[in-house]
Amino acid sequence: MTSRIILGTHNKKKCQELQHLLQPLGLQLQSLAELDEALVVEETADNFLDNARLKAAEQARHLSAWTIGEDSGLCVPYLKGAPGVLSARYSDPGANDARNNEKLLRELASASGSQRQGYYVSTIALADPVGEIVIEAEGRCWGRIIREYRGSGGFGYDPLFELVEYHQTFAELGPTVKAVLSHRARALEKFIRQLKGILPLSPSA
């Protein structure tokens, strides 16, 4: 297996986070932004794992390259799992981070205590160059949705998502701490354990 892997996302901030977490492995990582021929894969599934599989498999077949697909979002049980797989498009039409966060605050305006609990989930799939899924992993991180924005880092719902035991939001924690505690970090930890079985990694991994 080659050490070249495509990061199958057009989300620049998500790509940067994946690159940061995978960098110690000594892999040759490429983002879709570097590939003019890359597809735009529609997230048509109703769950995170199938969306990750879809993005990995379709891009891998098209590029004839090992490809990571990742899908993630925020789930609030009080809102019956919303925003869920629609996390990035929660406030459509014209969805963006600010509008999504404002909608979430409105939806939770009357919620209190445990009703404001939620979790981030990240699912990761690796497809080989013919589009067969060879690795799947999932990570979750529980917290609560606060009523005001705090912090300037991160993206998505990070300024509203507080890790209760740290009394800080993901936007306040910074990339070093987030690289250990986040849903994406936890999914990648499981992913890397499986990856080591099929790929020669650098000694530091």
Active site residues: 71
Residue 111 buriedness (CB in 10 A; 0-12 / 13-18 / 19+): middle
Residue 183 buriedness (CB in 10 A; 0-12 / 13-18 / 19+): buried
Compute the chain's Rg from CA coordinates: 17
